[in-house]
Structure 1
Amino acid sequence: MTKADIVAQIAKQTGVEKTVVLSVVEAFMENVKGSMIAGNDVFLRGFGSFIIKHRAEKTARNISKNTTIVIPSHNVPAFKPAKTFVATVKDAE
């Protein structure tokens, strides 16, 4: 499902124009991104959490050049679904 599909589905369910729904969806995504950039996690009860995972510094190998490189520590955005969300998806199989 793409963003356009989500916008179309919400517009169909609510009767709101697609342009309005698109602006709301875009604003939601921008707020989530902005909050995570600021170092805050986003919790949506019953849906899941957008969290920041910290990756430690590690040594890796470039096997084509046979060299060792150091990958610095960094943060990675992640999504952790809520238990009820996971249970619902499991039951849908």
Structure 2
Amino acid sequence: MRKPDLAAVIAERADLTKDKAGEVLNVLLDQITQTVARKESVTLVGFGTFEARSRAKRKGKNPQTGQEIEIPASNTVAFKAGKALKDSVN
């Protein structure tokens, strides 16, 4: 499912226009993005938690040459599924 498909489902279920549902979806995603960028977590009970995590620098190998390289430290986003989401998948 892509973003426009999700907006269409929201529009149908919430009795909104597709444009308004798309706007709501964009605001939701923007707010999650801004909150995680501030290193705060976003928890949607029953769905899951989005949070920022730091990765330490580490050693790796260039797959083409086999040469050992150092991968710099970086930040990433993690998602931990909630119980209800896990149960629905299983």
Q: TM-score, normalised by structure 1?
A: 0.87
CA RMSD of aligned residues (A): 1.3
Q: Secondary structure at the match of 1:39?
A: coil
**Which runs of 5 or more residues in structure 1 are unaligned?**
none
Q: Percent identity?
A: 29
State the AA in 2 paired with 1:27: V
Q: Secondary structure at the match of 1:8?
A: helix
Identify the residue that residue 80 of structure 2 maps to in structure 1.
80
State the AA in 1 paired with 2:15: G
> Is the Cα contact below 8 Å between 2:35 and 2:42 reproduced in 1?
yes
State the AA in 2 paired with 1:64: Q
Identify the residue that residue 18 of structure 1 maps to in structure 2.
18
Q: Secondary structure at the match of 1:70?
A: strand
What is the number of equivalent residue pairs in this alignment?
A: 90
The Cα offsets for residues 10-35 of structure 1, whole Å up to 9 and x where unpaired, read as 11112111111111100110111111
Q: TM-score, normalised by structure 2?
A: 0.90
Structure 1 residue 68: deviation in Å?
A: 2.1
The Cα offsets for residues 38-81 of structure 1, whole Å up to 9 and x where unpaired, read as 11111111110012222121011114334221111111112111
**Which runs of 5 or more residues in structure 2 are unaligned?**
none
Separation (CA, whole Å) in 2 of partners of 1:73 and 1:15: 46
Q: Secondary structure at the match of 2:7?
A: helix
